[in-house]
Chain A
Amino acid sequence: CCEGFEIDCRKKLKSLNKMSDKQNAQKSAKIAAGAVVCVESEIRGEVTIGARTVVHPKARIIAEAGPIVIGEGNLIEEQALIINSYPENIAPDSEGVEPKTMTIGINNVFEVGCMSQAMKIGDNNVIESKADLGRNMILTSGCIIGACCQVNTCEVIPENTVIFGSGCQRRVQTERPQPQTLQLDFLMKILPNYHHMKKTVKTTSAVTPAKN
């Protein structure tokens, strides 16, 4: 009966593990095939990363207060921080707070050292180095937030806007910035030569836990 007990225990442990795996799987990153995500990057929480997106080492994507969905063809460089955090006046443990999803479109560039908390980012935007986006911003398409510009107003930035300078001056450009296809192709070839990659998820099969 001891053996039976043991086998029972083992079966229970296995099923428990499977359940916890499934629960854990929902809370870890879903990286689509074709995306290049370095192991040294920190991805916490429920993050979905689209195909052809490159995440450099030391980039941080943190989904605290809700999931983050990142589209295709994005370039997230070193020390960039994309964080879905709780608003300041709400404590993390208070109940009744619905998790809001942060969506990021396609062909965006998050340059080195930038920080983005904007809940909705469209396509073809460029957030330059050390720029700081507040939580209440919404970027449409083709916007360029200049280097070291801190913007945390509560507004929707119209298309093709350029924010630059120490006074965060604005102007509208006539054409959107070009998608960085050349750079993305180059990085997708070169980065795997020097870094280990996080495992991607095949879209057809069941969810498997990604290696962190």
Chain B
Amino acid sequence: MASLLQPDRVLYLVHGEKKIRSPLSTLYFCRYCSELRSLECVSHEVDSHYCPSCLENMPSAEAKLKKNRKRICNQLNENFRCANCFDCPCCMHTLSTRATNIPAPLPDDPSKTTMKKAYYLACGFCRWTSRDVGMADKSVASGGWQEPDNPHTQRINKLIEYYQQLAQREKLERDRKKLARRRPYMPLAFSQHTIHVVEKYGLGTRLQRQRPGAPITSLAGLSLKEGEDQKEINIEPAQALDEVEPLPEDCYTRPINLPEVTSLRQRLLQPDFQPAGASQLHPKHKHLLIKRSLRCRKCEHNLSKPEFNPTSIKFKIQLVAVSYIPEVRIMSIPNLRFQKECQVLLTLTNPVENITHVTLVGCEEGDPEDINSTAKVMVPTKELVLAGKDAAADYDELAEPQDFQDDPDVVAFRKSNKIGFFIKVVPQREEDGDVTVSFKIRHDFRNLAAPIRPSEEGDAPTEAIWLTHHVELSLGPIIA
């Protein structure tokens, strides 16, 4: 029966740029627009970076602009990787540091030996150790491990700088052109191309979200830097070679040592080396994860803002739909038969603290939102009243139960802020798929976020507005 509680059985329709149907638990509710929002109709912004294993925080701006390579390795480099944690090159699990005792000669008296601790990296999942690739044990627990240097690093960095400068110059030229001569017939492809060019050279995806006319903030820092030294960066073009290293003679005859060959995934996770042999797989620093905040695209209010601390799972702002919209869940389904009326038991839960009135309306013929339903549904016509969610109800035994006059044909049971009610379903199609029904639920919503206008008459602080949502239920297959 736990399958009935699966979230994808009850879908709510979101009106956005695309019509999206998804469970209420994945949706957000913008209480300023009074509308449901899904992940695709909000803008995602990166809040902070953190390492998933040591939970160390790296502020986003610092991580992005810090380019000074002379700093010590304890600080973050620009690759968004943690300085302390490593990934196993074999199975990508997190490596742990283990210690062994080795006898080492005392510095004062070479003849005596004392036990010293030596540290090595080991993976608990695939049993890879740093000794497998020949990395010597270190005498410090952390900070001693170095990634091997790429011989091409300098050339790559120079190329990146050159192209970033080029992209910036092109962007400035384009802006100048736009301001100088307004050509309304300028083809759209041109401006798209420029944005693409800028993005290609890594000046940031923020440029895409900028509204026209607004100052380009991400380039501001760079332009200041460029102002300091305006020297042109020249690169030497790559030189083509006539002679290529020949293949070894036993290339075709040498038997393959299969454990030594790296898999594609192992190889491509280290794009600067791409080692073909497992004995050259060195551990890499662990990639950082992000904490993101969501913003409604229409009113620019934050819908979800997590806490800055990586160890905290709470939110500063959490406007999730389940805490504002009554949730429909399937409780029990009888055997569904083709063209026979069956009674399905659903529950409605009220997430807010005041009484909510809910009306269910079936979908009319030709409703453009009703595309998936394969059965006719008869919903109760009376208005359902849901009690408010009372956090202390479990403990308060003396409270009188509120008396709602419930029609036993409609309401099966009532329990604090939840009621169970019946709907009648007549499956219309005798096919293999699931029986799907849809209806609209209309409920009153008190907007506590609206600014309190000074009212002269002293009436109720918040007025209720009525919201309508389109709900689709998937009831399972027809049992003949």
Contacts and interface: CB of A to CB of B under 8 A. Distances in A.
Main secondary structure of the interface of A (DSSP, over half): strand
A164 B129 CA distance: 15
Interface stretch (A61-69, A171-179, A200-208): A171-179
A144 to B, nearest CB: 6
B259 A171 contact: yes
B259 A146 contact: no
A146 B125 contact: yes
Given A164-B91, A165-B91, A170-B259, A175 B131 contact: yes
Nearest to A144: B127
A171 B126 CA distance: 8
Contacts of A174: 129, 131-132
Nearest to A162: B127
A171 B89 CA distance: 12
A171 B263 CA distance: 11
Contact of B128 (A161, A173, A177): A173
B360 interface: no
Given A170-B259, A171-B90, A162 B131 contact: no
B127 A173 contact: yes
Nearest to B278: A171
Main secondary structure of the interface of B (DSSP, over half): loop
B259 A172 contact: yes
A170 B278 CA distance: 12
21 contacts: A144-B127, A146-B125, A146-B126, A161-B259, A162-B126, A162-B127, A164-B126, A165-B91, A165-B125, A165-B126, A169-B91, A170-B259, A171-B90, A171-B126, A171-B128, A171-B259, A173-B127, A173-B128, A173-B132, A174-B132, A177-B127
B266 to A, nearest CB: 10
A39 B221 CA distance: 74
Interface in B78-98: 90-91
Contacts of B129: 173-175
B127 A164 contact: yes
Contacts of A162: 126-127
Interface string A138-152: 000000101000000
The 10 tightest CB contacts between A and B, nearest first, are A172-B259, A164-B126, A162-B127, A174-B132, A173-B127, A171-B259, A144-B127, A164-B125, A162-B126, A171-B90
Nearest to A178: B100
Interface in B111-144: 125-129, 131-132
Contacts of A177: 127
Given A165-B126, A169-B126, 14 more contacts: A144-B127, A146-B126, A162-B126, A164-B91, A164-B126, A164-B127, A165-B125, A170-B259, A171-B126, A171-B259, A172-B259, A173-B128, A174-B129, A175-B131
A20 B192 CA distance: 94
A180 B259 CA distance: 27
Contacts of B131: 174-175
Nearest to A147: B125
Interface in A177-196: 177
B213 to A, nearest CB: 53
A165 B125 CA distance: 8
Contacts of A144: 127
A144 B131 CA distance: 18
A145 to B, nearest CB: 11
B88 to A, nearest CB: 11
Nearest to B127: A162
A117 B445 CA distance: 64
A172 B262 CA distance: 12
Nearest to B90: A171
A158 to B, nearest CB: 9
A146 B128 CA distance: 13
Nearest to A173: B127
B135 to A, nearest CB: 12
Contacts of A146: 125-126
Contacts of B259: 161, 170-172
A146 to B, nearest CB: 7
B124 to A, nearest CB: 10
Nearest to B133: A174
Nearest to A161: B259
Contacts of B90: 171
B118 to A, nearest CB: 14
A172 B260 CA distance: 8
A173 B132 CA distance: 7
A173 B125 CA distance: 13
A187 B259 CA distance: 36
A175 to B, nearest CB: 7
A175 B127 CA distance: 10
A91 B278 CA distance: 47
Nearest to A175: B131
Contacts of B125: 146, 164-165
A109 B156 CA distance: 50
Residue of B90, B126, B132, B278 most packed against chain A (CB within 10 A)? B126
Interface in A125-159: 144, 146
Contacts of A170: 259
Nearest to A172: B259
Nearest to B258: A170
Contacts of A173: 127-129, 132
A173 B128 CA distance: 7
Contacts of B132: 173-174
B279 to A, nearest CB: 9
